[in-house]
A and B are shown apart, each in its own frame.
Chain A
């Protein structure tokens, strides 16, 4: 397509794209996001290509590889338009039937449909409870477009907000709209984006930068990855609009090199946008110049902190600096630099197109719009969910997430990544927004939501996060470097059964110092996982310290496995699978674990057939004395009691 030279050209181009597309023509979309890719969507795609051509349907059926649909748990996902028939967990061998039954015969295939708790099949994607209760304004287009094709984005009205801004609005009006929308940063702190933009705009200087922070380092969060992979143009459009409002002509996208698909889809998006005249010199003939460089992060959690990220863009080691002067005033090469997170930028075109009033009509008093969460852990329906601010944890976890897996009991939900906290069952009706989460000693963070059940040890979780943070601390300031190390030592001791009375108080005391005295947000928020667990789950700490017991049965030093002689049928599975040969036994002889050899790897516990359940995990009590070697089993294999 030729370079677009005006907003009218853009609209003409959109009409032209639409005129070539027949909305009634069947279109098979297959999710090619990271989750579905990992589950084998490539092979399903290949099968689709070959079956479609084998059946001579190439002219009659469109095939499209889209970004992440969010329901990663049940991938690979196929949705067939125009009826939006949704198939989950599709395998290559299902493809011929999909072609013959659904495409040629218009019949859905029951076994590939979603089945609700009552056994009712649901054919349409939008009616599956996981999707039905979401409000997907930012993430929704992912399922409709091929991220490698700019025409798909333009067909949905993409870049119309940019056209509107460049020709109908002054930079001040854009800024005013974003401020009135009260768009808060989706990356962690929740700082109002409009205020930040204004600071950078008002700081004197000819050269200013705008930056997309796609260094999504929080373990358990992957919404930025999915947005950048699945709809890169929405982020880019937001960035260009921001640059126009701020008066910047140069931008950066800082993206983790661990996200290769995001890097390649974004690179392609940039070159397509340049070709269309949507990026580069004289954008859409408006006279506004702006271009973007991609900077790959080399793997350091701390480099997602704004000042560290900007140092990394300069080609140095990404360590933070004190922020007496904010990066919005003095950032990359000491020039005013405005940094926002991927999801924040992707909200901007929506606000421009639909107005600040529309945006503020969604959400709570202090937090407007929606938020994408990665709902993961011990919940039934894991994946990415976008909900209006203010939805309660219960609605997210139970209504959308379908509750806890395997009928276990909910224990806690961890929000906000390593800087966040664990919320107990008593807070399950908490409305989720920036301020409520902070009040409850957690935070929004980038939107990780990790559900934990009764088999999760909260001391172990705190220890896990502290290990992560101590490992990722850059070591520049003492409170963070040394404080976290001491906290890790104490938590390790507690989990190894060597905790002492007073350890909890000591942890809390160090936490206060680290929180108050650290240089950057990593250290300042690092104690949160400890403080929230000592507050809400203090009894678990006490059980570890005083009772030398891990109630969830996780901490290896505090648990033992033994085989109940009354239940053992001498089936030999555990004996065969034990990696350290700690189990002895024989035909019709009770199997016995040698406690000295046992490494507590849990293999025997997992492989023992549930109908026997002979392997027992115990904590805080002595291991029962095993019968002498050579004792015959009381119960025969296969017999039920």
Chain B
């Protein structure tokens, strides 16, 4: 079964709230073929992220419920919550009186938004021109090797999300990888491993 499906199933279970008996977790673990520790970790994390955005109202209030601020409101939710769950999108649209199709169009058009839960640590490899000519593709290979996921993916234990970005404006230091908000200029394999292992 693919990882995406695994996530959705676990989220359904987590969404009911509360902890699951060991037997349920072990059944999931068997069916998906992943260790039970990872299953419980995913369920726990998704349980937390599912409790989302109690603050949606506050963010909408900040923009006085203005329809034209839809992008700004979604940016606010994305920043605090690291992703945009479908029920949140629905409720924002209801409150602003805009069709849900517009929210989805925005959420899928712009790069800042994510419709899947993101990892605790955001890893962004800059693919800007200056970084590219100074070896960004090779840096990306090293990063993939260090975090064990490909660009656009989130690790199963929600530890990392990896993405490529088109210029972080640090061209003089290229090639650059940004891990959370720390910039690393062309780190060698060992340095990367050290940084990655320091992320919980």
* Closest Cβ–Cβ distance, residue A477 to chain B (whole Å): 16
- Pick the most buried of B70, B134, B171, B172: most chain A CB atoms within 10 A of its CB: B172
* A315, CB-defined interface residue at 8 Å: yes
A601 near B173 with CB under 8 A, answer no
Question: Contacts of A299 on B, CB cut-off 8 Å?
Answer: 110-112
When each residue 292-335 of chain A gets 1 if its CB lies under 8 Å from chain B and 0 otherwise, what string results? 00011111110100000000111111100000000000000000
- Nearest B-chain residue to A38, judged by Cβ: B183
When each residue 98-114 of chain B gets 1 if its CB lies under 8 Å from chain A and 0 otherwise, what string results? 00001001100111110
Question: Contacts of B71 on A, CB cut-off 8 Å?
Answer: 295-296, 298, 312, 315
CA A226 to CA B131, docked complex, whole Å: 18
How many contacts A-B (CB < 8 Å)?
Answer: 139
* A448, CB-defined interface residue at 8 Å: yes
CA A218 to CA B128, docked complex, whole Å: 8
- Nearest A-chain residue to B111, judged by Cβ: A299
B74 near A298 with CB under 8 A, answer yes
A73 near B68 with CB under 8 A, answer no
* Closest Cβ–Cβ distance, residue A509 to chain B (whole Å): 26
* Closest Cβ–Cβ distance, residue A253 to chain B (whole Å): 13
B130 near A220 with CB under 8 A, answer yes
Question: Contacts of B102 on A, CB cut-off 8 Å?
Answer: 316-317
Q: Enumerate B144-200 residues with CB–CB distance to A below 8 Å.
A: 145, 165-174, 176, 183, 185, 189
Of A191-199, A352-360, A374-382, the one contacting chain B is A374-382
Q: Is the interface of B mostly helix, strand, loop or mixed?
A: helix
CA A549 to CA B106, docked complex, whole Å: 43
* Closest Cβ–Cβ distance, residue A256 to chain B (whole Å): 9
A219 near B172 with CB under 8 A, answer no
A376 near B69 with CB under 8 A, answer no
CA A216 to CA B128, docked complex, whole Å: 12
Q: Enumerate B56-102 residues with CB–CB distance to A below 8 Å.
A: 66-72, 74-75, 102
Partner of B166 from the list A34, A217, A295 (CB cut-off 8 Å) is: A217
* Closest Cβ–Cβ distance, residue B32 to chain A (whole Å): 28
Q: Is the interface of A mostly helix, strand, loop or mixed?
A: mixed
- Pick the most buried of A216, A316, A472: most chain B CB atoms within 10 A of its CB: A316
A219 near B111 with CB under 8 A, answer no
A34 near B110 with CB under 8 A, answer no
Question: Contacts of A456 on B, CB cut-off 8 Å?
Answer: 133
B170 near A72 with CB under 8 A, answer yes
The interface size of chain A toward B, counting residues with CB under 8 Å, comes to 59
* Closest Cβ–Cβ distance, residue B40 to chain A (whole Å): 32
CA A37 to CA B166, docked complex, whole Å: 19
B70 near A315 with CB under 8 A, answer yes
Given contact pairs A219-B128, A299-B112, A577-B189, A378 touches B72 in the complex (Cβ within 8 A): no
B75 near A315 with CB under 8 A, answer no
B106 near A72 with CB under 8 A, answer no
B171 near A374 with CB under 8 A, answer yes
Partner of B133 from the list A301, A303, A461, A472 (CB cut-off 8 Å) is: A461
A300 near B109 with CB under 8 A, answer yes
* A251, CB-defined interface residue at 8 Å: no
Contacts from A to B (Cβ < 8 Å): 34-35, 37-39, 72-73, 75, 216-222, 225-226, 257-259, 295-301, 303, 312-318, 374, 376-378, 382-383, 414, 417-418, 448, 450, 452, 456, 461, 464-465, 468, 472, 474, 577, 579, 601-603
The 11 sampled A-B contact pairs (Cβ below 8 Å) are A38-B176, A218-B167, A296-B75, A315-B68, A377-B133, A450-B129, A450-B130, A456-B133, A468-B166, A472-B166, A579-B145
Beyond the given A37-B183, A219-B167, could you list 14 further A-B residue pairs with CB under 8 A, ordered by the A residue number?
A38-B176, A75-B172, A222-B171, A226-B169, A257-B75, A298-B74, A299-B110, A300-B110, A300-B111, A317-B109, A374-B130, A418-B129, A465-B129, A601-B138
The 8 closest A-B pairs by CB, nearest first: A38-B183, A72-B172, A299-B111, A219-B128, A298-B110, A315-B68, A222-B169, A219-B167
